[in-house]
Amino acid sequence: MRSAALEHRGGIALAPVLVVDSDPTLVTSYERLLRRFGCRVFSARSRREALRYLSRERVHLVIVDVGLSDGSGLDVVRIACGCRPPPVVIIVTGSPVDGSGRRAFEAGATAYISKPIGLPGFSVLLEGLLRAIVAGHR
Beta-carbon neighbour count of residue 59 at 10 Å? 21
Distances from the Cα of 125 to the Cα of 34, 110, 113, angstroms = 12, 11, 10
Give 26-59 pLDDT, tens digit per residue.
999 999 999 988 899 999 999 999 999 999 999 9
Distances from the Cα of 121 to the Cα of 24, 101, 124, 135, angstroms = 21, 18, 5, 21
Mean of pLDDT values over 61-88: 94
Residue 123 backbone phi and psi in degrees, to 5: -60, -40
Closest by alpha carbon to 18, among 94, 82, 69, 76?
76
Give 77-96 pLDDT, tens digit per residue.
999 999 988 999 999 988 77
Q: Which residues of 103-119 are buried (b: 16+ CB within 10 A; e: fewer)?
A: bbeebbbbbbbeeebee
pLDDT of residue 23: 92
Furthest CA-CA distance within the chain: 42
Which is higher by pLDDT, 5 or 26?
A: 26
pLDDT of residue 137: 63
